[in-house]
Each structure stands twice: as structure tokens, then as C-alpha cells.
Amino acid sequence: MKDHPIWGKRDPIRKVTLFLNGKEMQAFEGEPIAAALMANGIRVFRKTRKRGEPRGVFCAIGRCTDCIMTVDGVPNVRTCMVLVKEGMQIKSERV
């Protein structure tokens, strides 16, 4: 949001580069991975093991584990809780 009625204009924050399934994308320093993905228009974070159904962000607060992805080789990372880091490699399972 460029100019919010309560927050005002966002302070210029450092950008970091992430890689989603090898594809480069931009994120803001200090935001959770899930927020960065959603800001880049990504809504499907993974497909389920049994039915192959799309899942994304559900609770956004680290409880439902729907938003899990493999981050820098570590599986089942709750992307709504973990903050972005420069050069992070994110893999969506079965997408």
C-alpha cells in the first residue's frame, strides 16, 4: 500500500532478493516470506500430498501450517512466521 490512512507512506526499506523455485523475486527486509510471496502475486504455496489441492495462507500467524514451504533446504517451514533473508531459496512442494 503506497499511502495508508493510518500508517502513511511506507519508510523506504531495504529490498532483498529471494528465489522461488529458482525464479528471482523482490521482497522487503524484515517481512515474513509469506507476505513477500503474496505481494508478488503468489497465492498457491504448495499442493497437498494426497489430493494435489492448492494451499496458501490461512491463519497467517503460525498455527495452521498451511503455508509451509521448503526454505534453504529445510522442509515444513511456516512461511508466515519466518522473515526473509537475502538470497533465500524457496521451494513450493508439488507445484
Partner 1 sequence: MDEDEGMIVCRCEEVAQSEILKAIEEGARTVDGVKRRTRAGMGLCQGRTCRRIVSKIIATETQQPIGEVMPSTFRPPVRPIAIGVLANEKE
Partner 2 sequence: MEQRQVVVVGCGPAGMASAIAAAEAGAQVTVLDENARPGGQLFKQIHKFFGSKEHYAGMRGFEIGTRMLKQAEDLGVEVWLNSVVYGLFEDKMLGIIQDNTNIPMKADRIVLATGASENALTFPGWTLPGVMGAGGAQTMVNLHGVLPGTKCLMVGSGNVGLIVSYQLIQAGAKVVAIVEADSKVGGYKVHADKIRRLGVPILLSHTVKEAKGKDSVEEVTLICVDRQWQPIPGTEQTHSVDFVCLAVGLTPLTELGSMAHCQSDYIAKLGGFTLTHDENMETTVPGIYVAGDCAGVEEASIAMEQGRMAGISIAESLGLIEKSAGEKKKAMIRRRLDELRGRPVFYESAADQGGPQSPTGGDNPFRKLPGYPSEERIQGGPVAVIECSEEIPCDPCAYICSREAISVGRPMTKLPQLDSEKCTGCGLCIPGCPGLAIFIVDKTYSPLEALVQLPYEFKPLPKMGEQVDCLDRQGKKVTEGKVIKVTNPSRFDRTPVVSVVFDKRFADDVRAISLRRKGHGRR
- Interface positions with partner 2 (CB under 8 A): 1-7, 10, 31-32, 34-35, 38-39, 43-45, 53-63, 80-81, 83
Q: Which does 39 bind (CB under 5 to 8 A by kind): partner 2, partner 1, none?
A: partner 2
Residue 68 site contact among partner 2, partner 1, none (CB < 5 to 8 Å, cut-off depends on kind)? partner 1
CA distance 82 to 92: 15
DSSP 17-67: EEEETTEEEEEETTSBHHHHHHHTT----EE-TTT--EE--SSSSSSS-TT
8 within 8 A of 78, measured Cβ to Cβ = no
Q: Determine if 61 is a binding residue for partner 1 (CB under 8 A).
A: no
57 belongs to the binding site for partner 1 (CB under 8 A) = no
Where do contacts with partner 1 occur on this chain (CB under 8 A)?
A: 48-51, 53, 55, 58-59, 62-66, 68, 76, 78
